[in-house]
Each structure stands twice: as structure tokens, then as C-alpha cells.
Chains A and B, each alone.
Chain A
Amino acid sequence: MHALIAGSLRENPGRFLLAIAAIALGVALGVAVHLINSSALNEFELAARHLAGEADLVVRGPRAGFDEALYPRLARLPQVEAANPAVELEVPLAGRQDSLRIIGFDPLRAAQVQPSLLPERAGIVLDLFDADAILLSPAAAEWLHLKAGDPLAVQVGTRKVPLKVAGLLPRGAYRQRVGVMDVATAQWRLERLGRLNRIDLRLKPGTDVAAFRRELQAMLPAGVHAVAPDTEGERAAILTRAYRLNLDMLALVALFTGAFLVFSAQVLAALRRRAQLALLRALGVTRGALAVGLVAEGAAIGAIGSLFGVVLGYAVARYALSVVGADLGAGYFRGIAASLNAEPQALARFFTLGVLFAVLGAAAPAWQAARRPPARALRAGDEEEGLRKVHTLWWGVALLVSGMLLAAAPAMNGLPIAGYIAIGLILLGAVLVMPQLTGACLARLPSPAHAAAGIAIAQLKATPRQVALSVAAIVISFSLMVSMLIMVGSFRGSLETWLERMLPADLYLRAARFGETAFFTPAEQARIAATPGVGRVEFVRAQTLLLAPERPPLTLLAGPVDAGDPGSVLPLTAPARTTRPEEPPPVWVSEVAADFYGFRTGDRVQLPIGDAPRLYTIAGVWRDYARQNGAIAINRGTYVKVTGDTLVNDAAVWLAPGASVTHVQRGLRERLPDAARLEIATTREMRDLSLGAFDRTFAITYALEIAAILIGLFGVSVSFSAQALARRREFGVLRHLGMTRRGIGTLLGCEGTLVAALGTAFGLAAGCGVGLILIHVVNRQSFHWSMELHVSWLPIAGLAALIVAAAAVTAVWSGRAAMGDDVVRAVHEDW
């Protein structure tokens, strides 16, 4: 029996190779995505842990920080053994479109709190007291191609602040890019005098950290939170949970497709070998042993594929981490340099998963084959008989219905689990209803007089269940493609609409694209407004608010939003609510903020804007695709009144009638200091920048789509090859009857086209359903932003045509073996 299986492997290596490749692809995808993400997360946690050193708690404030007077108060608490005050900011690098994280702390206090973070070289602390000095982590030094003694310029306001690299942190102490400064230097050079935004606390031995944290929280100003360093590290995990699950699901989908391929390969193999298998049964092999043997065959495919997949995934992850970086374009791990962190358990898990899926794929056909009475199977024309038993319609319908119902379920634990299950059920259901649906459709086809077409249609009509296998392969891959196209297309379409709303002006000035220390002073604002050709200017101040310790800060946008007509500036999701004069001042929250913090229009909430928290009215919810941690918009007049902060980050410029863009751009550059570093972009440039970033983010999705196409075509090719081989004699007869090779090609092409047409039609339907779930359930629950349905039919139609054409070609190609001379001789064989 093993010889028989091995023989079958030898006989049809291509089919098995394809199944192996599909499993390998799924496993590789899973392994790569998992490794990249876990490495990035690990690095993220490590970074948070290393930066906190021996600290038991990290007190954090928003970007604007808190009054430095908090530091002595905390340092004097009896439970506190040592406190290290810090200013921690992303600082734009002058002359480089990027930013560097700089932490300015007290190196003397670091001796007690973060001892490993400073070099052992005697005198380095003294060097750090120099108000130009910065220490770089080895990763930062490497990235910037700098060594001790080199100058490094950063941007603060619109100015260039020259610094000097005083030395490097010990290798291994901190693996990410970071610059370390003295807290006094940071306060002064980064224009944060009197402010801190981080204090690391080391507690006396025996202090109950959790209890002390609660006690401490009561004395911290609003918007300032004490968190354990582990929580800090885990924040990245929480933040990226949905994103990672998304990628994991894509990998699972690939595996699922692989399993389906194993299934279809095994079904056809079982059919082809039905006589051999029946012979085995007749010779006394038990039903169970036969099934076990066939499942073992699937397991072998799974094991080989998984092994390749693990190796491939590992290689891809390694390559991606070293070349592309850990970010994968999604922005969560920007600037994180991760080294591959491959836990053997995770690799083993994916290997097992691959084998499991293959076994699952092999189980049903094995069971079917083993169940078949040997006498019947020995008779000719049994292929379809074997499948006729499979009554899947009601199961399929049940799965489809429950999938649709499940799609309405809310997020579980912040994750769209139900949505994913719904997608799985719908895909599985679609596969299960395929035999009946395919049969019904084929039955309605006319019988044309043309010999090749007539035979093709008759063949399909007579074998609806076998056809259904091929159709299902296409349905699966095409529906995935369609759903992704719909999702990405809707997202992109919504983003474009949104950008149009968010970018109403002619020109945009940004003090810097990256980092937190660039701004325009009131004098510069006045100069911008007075530039010839400038009709109107609106300024925006971006700050952060820390509303919950376990979440990253959300963005506070103080801009031209007006209580009277907020909809003119913000893309509100519902009509605005007008606040009455006696109510607290209005703020408008993004969908993400609304979801994270439970804000509802009309709520009154205390927000730590400025040093004293006040009540504000939630006056509306708006759509924001730019800030994944949430955003709150406030009128800048209100903001300035509350905070006294008159700096701004961005300016939107409307040209005066008749003014030219280039003219005004030049004028602005002339009037602003070091304007070379400023970003003065037209609306179109801003738009293109955002869309470019979007496309990069979804690059991985496109890669997956290509994988889906390949898997789908694999499936088609596998089933056609198998069928073509099974029908060798039939083709031989046709050749005897005077059908040309071309005629047989046409016949196969017709069949391929029909199968693909059915597959793409049903795939389109299933894909639309899955796409809607992706848009309204998975996406909404994962990333908390809504979007409108934008279906670009042209690419979908193009893709469908491509698949049909590819399927026709594949069918003809896989039938070429059946057009050779041996088919002629096959006719005269006795059997």
C-alpha cells in the first residue's frame, strides 16, 4: 500500500508539488508575519524595559509634559528610593526627513534608576553636562553614520539646533535608535524649560507597587499617569493586537486555501486511483487502514510543505527585518530595528498547523474512498458516482447563514473575532454549496452543435461535482481577491474623500514632517499671514493627551474648527450638535477616540488640556484616518485661552485671488528662517503623500492578493491536470473520430473558461459579502474607523477576465499531455 502511495507520488509529482507549495506558502506567510511582528514587539518591549531600567514605575505625561515641580514632590515620597526626571521627545533631524527619539534625563539619577544606560567611560557624565552634548545608541549612530565628536543638528521650532555626539551608549544596553541628553540640556535646547514629561521611579524594597501606583495616581495631575514598565512595553502589544491578528488571519486564509488544494488534489487522486484502492480493499486492507494511509499521505504533504514553509518564512522574515524593517509599512513599529526573535515553539506551532490543515484536507476524501464498496469502484465511470454521495448543500447554506448572522456580533475583547469567523464560515459555506449550485447552473447550459463545445458542456454537465471542486478553488481565491479589492478600494476611496475634506486650502506648511519639537512662533505666524499673495491662513497646533495609562497618547488638534459649523472643517460622521453657551466648550472626537474612551456626542468629559483639567462637551464624532491612537479637535481660540500655548505646527494657506502657488511658496521660504527644512506643500502633494503612505501600508495586502491568485490558479491547474489524465482514453477516441489536436485544445479551453466563469461569478458574490464584512465589521472593530463602500468594478472585471483567460490557458496547458500520440494507443489497451 505504501508502494502504491509512493507510486502515485512518482506518477504525479506536479500535483503533489503544487499541494506542497500551497501549504508551504501558507505556513511561510504565517511564519514570516509572526516572526516579524513578534520580533518587533519583543524589541518594543525590550526598549521600554531598557529605557526604564530598574524603575518600578514610569510617570508619563503628554507631549507638552507637566510642571517640573512634580519631580521633587515625587522624589520626596517616602516609598520612592530614587526618581529620574526626563524629557522624552521625537525630535526632527535637520536635513533629514526623519526624527530621532531623544531622552533627556539626569545621568546622576540614572545611576540609581537606569544604571545600564550610560557608558562606563569615566568623565562621560561630565561631557553630558555640556549643553550641546548628546549620547547616541549604537543603532542611532549607525543609522546616522555618526561617531563620537561628530555634529548632529536637530530642529526645534523652525531653528536648527547644533548638537555634538559626546559618545555612544554601551552596545547592548539599548538596541533601538535613541539619543540621550542631560535633562537640563533637553529642557533648554528643545525648548521645554520648566517642563518634564517622564519620571522614572525606583521604589524602596518592600513597597507594594500596585498599591503605591493607585496612591500615586491620586496625586498626579490629570493627564499624567504612572505605569509599570511592563505595561509600557505591553502597550505596543495591545495597540497592534488587531493589526497583528489581521495579518495572522491572512496567513490562516492562505493555509486554508492550501488545505483546500490538498483536499481537491486528494479527491482527484482518490478518484484516479479508485481501482487501485478498490483492489487493496478487495485484497483485504481494512477500511480504517486505507483511510489512515490516505490521511498519512495528506500528512506527508503537509509535513513537507510546512517544513519548506517554516524555512521560507524564516528566510523572508530575516530578509524583511534586515532590508525593509519591522514595520511592514503600517507605521506601528516605525524606526524599530528588530533582530529576528524566533521562538522554536512558534515555528513548531506553524508547522503543526500546516500539517493539521493538510490532514484536514485529506481526511474527507480518504473517508470517502475508504467507504466506497470495492466492487462498485472497480467499475468504469465511477468518478462522479463517488462524489454523488456528498450532500453538502444544507450544510453550506447553514454555514452561510450563520456566517452572515455572526457578522453582526460585536467585537470580542476588542478584536473582530466574530467577523473573522463569519468570513471563514462564508468561505466554507460557499465551498459546500458549490456542487449543487454548479450542477444547477450547468443544467441550464444549452448544448451547442459545435462538437468541441458540445462535448465540453456535456462533460461539465455530467460531472457537476468534479467541476464544483475546480469552481470552488476559484471561488475561494477570487472571493478573497475581490473582498480585498473592495476593502482596500473602499478604504482608499474613503481616504481620498477624506483628504479632500481635510485639505481644503491651497498650500500647507508644516514645521516638520516628523518629530515633536518643530513649531511656528507667533511672530512667524504673523509673517506667514503677511506674505504677499496669502489670502487667508489657518493654524493648527498638535499636542497629545494621555487619557488612560494603558493606551498611547491621543492627539489634540487645536485648529480652525468652529462650534457654529464644525462640519466645514471636520468630516463628521453625524450632523453636528450645537453646544449651548452655558455648556462647557465643545470638542470633537475621532471615531477611534470615541471607541477607545467611550465618548458619545453630548457627553461632558474632563480633559487635561493645559495644566488644569476642565470640562468639555463632546459635540461630535469625526472620521480620522490619520491618527490611529485617536484624536480630539478643539477650537484653537479655546485652546490658547486654556493653555496659553500660542505655538502652532501646521498652517493651511488660501491664496489671494490671482496669486500663484510658486510665487507664494517662494515668498514664504524667504520670510521664514531656515526655510529649507520647512515643508511647504501643495494640496496635491499632501494628498499624494498620504495616498503614497496608504499604498505602502497595503503593499503586503497586494502581495497576499498575488498569492491568492497563484493559489487559485494552482487549484485550477491541479484539477484540470488530473481530469485530463483521467480522460486520456476519451481524448484518444476523439482523435480516432477525427478531432484535431486543436479541437481537443478548444474542448479543454471551453471547459476551463466555463469553470472559471462560474468560479469568478460565485467568487464575486462571496467576495462582495466578505468585503462588506471586512469593511463594516473587521476593519471597524480592528481600527475603529468607518468607511464607505467604493467598488471599482473595472479592476475586478479585469481580474475576472484575467482569471478566466488564465484558467482557459491552464486547462489547455494541463491537457497537452492528453494530446500526444500515446492517447491514440491508450484506446486499444484492454483493461
Chain B
Amino acid sequence: MLALLAGALCAPKATAQITSHESRVTPFAPVVPGYRMRFPDDEGSHPDFRIEWWYITGWLEDAGKPLGFQITFFRARPELKHDNPSAFAPRQILIAHAALSDPAHGRLIHAQRAARAGFGLAGADEGRTRVTIDDWRLQQADTSYRAQIGTRDFSLDLAFEATQPPMKQGRDGFSRKGPAPESASYYYSLPHLLVSGSVEREGKTLRVSGSAWLDHEWSSQYLEKDATGWDWIGINLDGGAALMAFRMRDRQGGHYWAGGALRDPNGRLRIFSPDEVRFFPRREWKSARTGTSYPVSFLVRAGDREFAIEPLFDDQEHDTRASTGTIYWEGAVRALRDGKPVGLGYLELTGYWRRLSL
């Protein structure tokens, strides 16, 4: 159910559909070039926009064994036709996903929640990151973040310390998602977050540490009509460099649009044009559960760099049909160059099961 909404509104990594008409009750703010991001103000919520997410992925180390994790908070603003005075009116909806990728387990351990903002039970603050659904929260304090997720199967209590300034994607944070100029988002990332905290599983609490990547993106028009989904990577490269690359796929599964950026340890940022980013699938994995095939291994070319992307393990499929109405793949990956690991990050594959849409 929850995912009905996610599927409808903002399936993993945004499905906000392009709408041609403006709602009278819910005028969505447009994403336009030239906006100047300010921090920490822009780390808070932007309730005028249709959709927004805070998306943390990363690698943890548990006694030398790797453990991937994903914590996502979505904020969606439904398009309302009536100005309902009820305190329950669904002006803003919050959705959260959390997942662990443990190779020993062989597939994702995940949980999700959704709630309408209000009554102090769920909400996203402006001016500073503070997103909550009941006792699930992601909260900012100065340069650090804390995420608390408690589920029936596992609990996460993780602190994230920023070691680098925000990495504005696209043109100074204005990230285009397709040929249409209005199809864009405001987008910055925080790579190389230093993670510490605890993971509780099967009654055992593990002290963990690692590195993570935070994406914060907000938009009113995200996925174009002709696009069916996207592939995305965010890699913390060894030595402090960071790579983000994505491509939107057309209905034939080919290249529709792309983008990306590479920041070197000195902070020099290289933004790639749509033509400079290419994803070459290397290996497919087919889910026995859903029959969906995913290219879980890629060769990603960004400008003059090439990275092989290899999953921590193949089955990181996220089946959220029962709740969110969609299936996607979201998993921990290694980046390799010349066969040698050069970084750790996450790969997201959407729209392979069915087109992400309403």
C-alpha cells in the first residue's frame, strides 16, 4: 500500500510524473536554472515542490565483513483538488525505506513506512534536515546526521559525519533529467560521510563503522513521458574522490538522457554532459521470484574514465509490490579499474520490472 503511493508518486529515486496542468489548490514550485543553493537551509525540506528525498547509501564494516545499507526518506506532495481544512488533509506524505545488504543473507532485509505529515507524528522540517515518520527519523546537527530506524527485523542507529562540502550536481545543483528543460531537479550529494553507530539484528547489536553517500534531491517534474526508468551509481572512490552517474532509459531500454559528476580529492568538480556518460551492461541477473532481469554489472564510462561496477552480491532486488507496487534493484557495489577495486558505492536500477509510472 505504502508503495502504491511510492509507485504512484515517487518510486525509488523519483517517479514524479510530468503534469501539464497546474493544480489550483496545489501549485508546485518549478525547478529553474540559476537557483543558488544555500546550506544548511537547502538541507531542509522544500514543501512547495512535488517530490523530495534524502537518500543515504553506504558500506559498513561488521568485524571485517561488508554490509551494505540504504535509508531513504521521501517527501511527496499530492496534487489536491480541494482545500480540505481537516488536520488530516494529506498535504504532504512521507515515506521511508530501509534495507540491509548482507552477502551472508543473500538478499535484502528491508522495511518501509508511510504517513501523512501532521500531528507531530510525521513531517519534514524546513531549514535543516529533520524528517520523521513515527520513531523513524533522519536528523541533522551541524555537519553530522543521525538516522534511527527500528523495524521488526532490524534496527539502525547511525551517525554520519560530513568530511567534504556538498557536491552540487548538474549546473550548480540544477540537474536535468531529460531533453525538456522543465524536467529537472535540484540535487546535491554528500559523499564520503563517515559512519559510526550500531546495527541490531536477530537480537544482537553490532558496533559498525563505514562510509556513506547522501543524495538530497527535490523536483516537481522528474521522469519524462518517454523515459521508463534509470540506472544510477554513487561511488566513494578511494582517496576521497566521488563519482555520480545516471542514465535515463527510453522505452527500448536505450540511452535517453544521462548525467554525472566526478569530484577529485582536492574538490575539483567535473560535470559530465549527457553524451559523456555511458552505461554498458556486462552481466544480467534474473530474479527467480519476479522473473525480472537486471544488468547488475556495468562498465560505466564518464568522460575519459571507465569503471567496472560489480555488485556485492546479485540478489539485491527490492520487491515492494505488496506495499509500494513496484520492484527495483538497489544494491551495494564495488567500482573496479583494471580489475582492481577503487571504490565502494550503490547502484540503483529502476523500471526493469515495469515502467515507473502512475
Contact = CB atoms under 8 A, between A and B. Distances in A.
**Chains A and B directly touch (beta carbon < 8 Å):** yes
B119 A71 contact: yes
Interface stretch (B48-56, B87-95, B245-253, B258-266): B87-95
Nearest to B321: A120
Interface in A59-79: 68, 71-72, 75-76
B1 A108 contact: yes
Contacts of A82: 134
A109 B82 CA distance: 22
B213 to A, nearest CB: 28
A188 interface: yes
B5 A126 contact: yes
A129 B88 contact: no
A72 B121 contact: yes
Given A75-B121, A120-B325, A107 B1 contact: yes
B13 interface: no
B7 interface: yes
A376 B82 CA distance: 97
Contacts of A132: 81-82
Interface residues of B, number: 35
Nearest to B83: A131
Contacts of B210: none
Contacts of B80: 129-131
Given A75-B121, A193-B86, A205 B358 contact: no
A129 B85 contact: no
Contacts of B84: 131, 184-185, 188
Interface stretch (A110-118, A275-283, A393-401, A594-602): A110-118
Contacts of B152: 205
Given A129-B78, A185-B84, A109 B115 contact: yes
A671 B201 CA distance: 68
Given A85-B88, A106-B116, A122 B325 contact: yes
B114 interface: yes
B32 interface: no
Contacts of B90: 129, 182, 184
A68 B87 contact: yes
A781 interface: no
Q: Which secondary structure dominates where chain B touches chain A?
A: loop
B9 interface: yes
Interface in A164-222: 182-185, 187-188, 193-194, 205
A124 interface: yes
B87 A115 contact: no
Given A122-B4, A126-B5, A188-B84, A111 B114 contact: yes
Interface string A78-116: 000010010000000000000000000011111110010
A388 to B, nearest CB: 80
B120 interface: yes
Given A111-B114, A131-B81, A125 B89 contact: no
Nearest to A85: B88
A284 interface: no
B198 interface: no
A10 interface: no
Nearest to B112: A111
Contacts of B78: 126, 129
Count chain B CB atoms within 10 A of each CB in A85, A122, A132, A185 and give the residue with the most. Answer: A122
B16 interface: no
B94 to A, nearest CB: 9
B121 A108 contact: no
Contacts of A205: 152
A829 B322 CA distance: 89
B2 interface: yes
B323 interface: yes
Contacts of B121: 72, 75-76
Nearest to B122: A108
B243 interface: no
Contact of B120 (A72, A122, A131): A72
Contacts of A121: 4
B149 interface: no
B93 A188 contact: no
B5 A106 contact: no
Nearest to B11: A122
A123 interface: yes
B7 A122 contact: yes
A109 B113 CA distance: 9
Contact of A125 (B1, B85, B86, B321): B1
B1 A111 contact: yes
Contact of B88 (A106, A111, A122): A106
Interface string B6-21: 0111000000000000
B358 A108 contact: no
A541 to B, nearest CB: 24
B116 A108 contact: yes
A183 B82 CA distance: 14
B86 A187 contact: yes
B184 to A, nearest CB: 23
A184 B86 contact: yes
A111 B95 CA distance: 12
A577 B20 CA distance: 71
A71 B121 CA distance: 10
Nearest to B323: A111
A123 B93 CA distance: 14
Interface in B299-331: 321-323, 325-326
Contacts of A183: 86, 88
A182 B81 CA distance: 14
A184 B5 contact: no
Given A107-B1, A184-B86, A122 B358 contact: yes
Contacts of B120: 72
A71 B87 CA distance: 12
Contacts of A194: 87
Interface in B263-307: none
Contacts of B9: 126
Contact of A123 (B4, B81, B87): B4
A123 B358 contact: yes
A237 to B, nearest CB: 31
A121 B325 CA distance: 8
B8 to A, nearest CB: 4
A68 B85 CA distance: 14
A184 B84 CA distance: 7
A82 B84 CA distance: 24
Nearest to A130: B81
A70 to B, nearest CB: 10
A182 B88 contact: yes
Contact of B2 (A72, A85, A108): A108
B119 A108 contact: no
Contacts of A107: 1
A126 B88 CA distance: 14
A453 B80 CA distance: 92
Contacts of B82: 130-132, 188
26 contacts: A68-B88, A75-B119, A75-B121, A109-B115, A110-B1, A111-B2, A112-B113, A115-B1, A118-B4, A120-B4, A120-B325, A122-B4, A123-B8, A125-B8, A126-B8, A132-B82, A183-B88, A184-B88, A184-B90, A184-B116, A188-B82, A188-B84, A188-B85, A188-B86, A188-B89, A205-B152
Given A122-B8, A126-B78, 20 more contacts: A68-B87, A72-B121, A75-B119, A106-B88, A106-B116, A108-B5, A108-B93, A108-B114, A110-B1, A115-B1, A122-B4, A122-B325, A125-B1, A125-B8, A129-B78, A130-B80, A183-B86, A184-B87, A185-B84, A188-B84
The 9 closest A-B pairs by CB, nearest first: A111-B1, A184-B88, A122-B325, A131-B82, A184-B86, A72-B119, A187-B86, A123-B8, A122-B7
